[in-house]
Structure 1
Amino acid sequence: MDTSFLVTSIVITATPGSGALFTIAAGLSRGVRAGIIAAVGCTLGIVPHLALALSGAAAVMAANPVLFDVIRWAGVAYLLYMAWGMWRDDRGLAASSETKDGSAASGMSFGRVIRDAVLVNLLNPKLTIFFFVFLPMFVDVDASDSVLRMAGLGAAFMGITFVIFTAYGAGAARVRDFVRVRPTVNRLLGRGFALTFVVLAVLLAITSQ
């Protein structure tokens, strides 16, 4: 694997975005297992974007402002939906009843975590354009195995995403107990995450192709 690809992927993945922030919020609110599940969900949310890039459909999206805008505004709406849910919960971000490691959490709770995590990345058209532009930079597009090599790099990017996001989720879970016993801090943290998702929604809304 090209070192420049590895370094670039780590930098891009480690830069906080909606997926990383959602994973951190999951770790804080439900514990280590939820943080890991959120990391899995965010990683799975990359698959459709990679598939579009490999099939050439990303080029269609790049040339189709209407399609790009439909997905973009769906992403904006979903980010605002999550922000509203966090804002209106006066208990705070880490006030759920699950145990520290998430072992007492219900299947429904974890199902919701992975659903939201997948949608956070799925409804981000910038990821499709990113793969359309990013992967070909590290592959000889004229080679007969260029699609296979791009798929391999995409899988590596997904692996890097999972590792870094898992670290984010697990790290957030480690400070969960500290937050839970401080209601004011807990409530302010929840409001802070809600506002952050609003900011991300606004940034996505004003993004052009």
Structure 2
Amino acid sequence: MSPAFLLTTLIVVVTPGTGVVYTLAAALSRGRRASIVAAFACTLGIVPHVLATVTGLAALLNASAAAFQVVKYAGVAYLLHMAWATLRDKEAIVVERDPAAAGPLRLIVRGVLVNILNPKLTIFFLAFLPQFVDPGRPHALPRMLALSGVFMLLTFVVFAAYGILAASVRSHITSRPRVMTWLRRSFAGSFVALGAKLALTAR
């Protein structure tokens, strides 16, 4: 495992994106346990991208402008849906007294979709992994899977750390409805901004 791979992966994972925003929202609204579930869900959403890269579907996605656009705008639509749901639903970012009642299945489904509907992640793997795997050498496929596993592990650890830190301040905002309103609007705005960024990016 090269230091360059670990450093590049850490930079990519630490940089805030849709997964981080989603994990922070779960942490502030439902607590530490929910943030870990959200981090796990976002990490789980990476699996299809890894499989697409390994099986060659990522190359097709990269070569076909139409396929890329379909997946991209599905992701944009979902991010805008998340923004609207967060802004409209006043219960979306509300500190809950009983985090266990939130329902982990909903957190997992949303978290997985956040990363599945991001074609840039597939393209990233397509461009990123080959730099650290020589396809001409034996065991190239196991190495690619191993590197993908490390990427996913670091993703979970970093996202969970973001979530745990955010969950630690929940008690300070429980009795401040204006802060919660501001947070709800901020998260909605973040989803809109990320959706706009995805819509404007090319392959």
TM-score by length of 2: 0.96
- How far apart are 1:95 and its partner, in Å? 3.5
Specify the alignment match of 1:122 in structure 2.
116
Specify the alignment match of 1:111 in structure 2.
105
Counterpart amino acid of 1:50? V
Q: 1:204 aligned to 2:193?
A: no
Q: Alignment partner of 1:190: what SS?
A: helix
- How far apart are 1:92 and its partner, in Å? 6.8
Specify the alignment match of 1:149 in structure 2.
143
Q: 1:62 aligned to 2:62?
A: yes
Matches within 5 A, 1:1-209: 1-90=1-90, 93-98=93-98, 102=99, 104-106=100-102, 109-209=103-203
Q: Distance in 1 between matches of 2:179 and 2:92?
A: 8
Identity of aligned residues (%): 48
**More deviation, 59-68/136-145:** 136-145
- How far apart are 1:144 and its partner, in Å? 2.1
- How far apart are 1:172 and its partner, in Å? 1.0
Q: Distance in 2 between matches of 1:12 and 1:83?
A: 23
Counterpart amino acid of 1:16? P
Counterpart amino acid of 2:129? L
TM-score by length of 1: 0.94
**For the Cα contact (< 8 Å) 2:28–2:95, is it kept in 1?**
no
- How far apart are 1:36 and its partner, in Å? 0.3
Any gaps of 5 or more consecutive residues in structure 2?
none
Q: Alignment partner of 2:101: what SS?
A: coil
Q: Distance in 1 between matches of 2:91 and 2:148?
A: 39
Q: How many residue pairs were aligned?
A: 203
Counterpart amino acid of 1:7? L
Counterpart amino acid of 1:184? R
Q: Alignment partner of 1:150: what SS?
A: helix
Q: Alignment partner of 2:149: what SS?
A: helix
**For the Cα contact (< 8 Å) 1:30–1:105, is it kept in 2?**
no
RMSD over aligned CA atoms reads 1.2
Counterpart amino acid of 1:75? G
Q: Alignment partner of 1:133: what SS?
A: helix
- How far apart are 1:91 and its partner, in Å? 5.4
Q: Alignment partner of 2:183: what SS?
A: helix
- How far apart are 1:97 and its partner, in Å? 4.2
